[in-house]
Amino acid sequence: MKLPVIKHLTSFIEENDQDYVLETIETLEALTEVPSLKDEELDVIGELISNMYGAIEVSKMMKEGAPKKEALNNFMQRVLGSIDK
């Protein structure tokens, strides 16, 4: 996951609607079923999906009242904490 990408997607959700991101996730998930995709291509799609889910999670925290910077930091701490375990 890349914080700058999540931050940009979070801004996109603020300006538009998270439904666009959710529909994009569904489309990308459907693409992963193409049998001719290479592992590298699947990795890129997976990274995009992860970043989009991250942005949705940050957006939820912001709707619950967390400032954007705090929501981004808390999310990344959770991600890093789950990797360390």
Total number of domains in the chain: 1
User: What are the tens digits of pLDDT across the range 3-44?
Assistant: 899 999 999 999 999 999 999 999 999 999 999 999 999 999
* Single pTM value for the model: 0.88
Average model confidence (pLDDT) across the chain: 93
Domain that includes residue 42, residue range: 3-84
Percentage of residues of the chain with pLDDT beyond 70: 98
User: Measured on CA atoms in the order 69, 55, 53, 80, is the torsion positive or negative?
Assistant: negative
Contacts with 79 (C-beta within 8 Å, 6 or more apart), sequence order: 1, 54
How confident is the model at residue 21, as a pLDDT? 97
The single residue listed with the structure tokens 């990797």 is: 83
Which residue type, as a one-letter code, is found at position 15?
Answer: E
**Rounded Cα distance, 67 and 57, in Å:** 13
3-state helix, strand, coil in the chain (%, to 5): 80, 0, 20
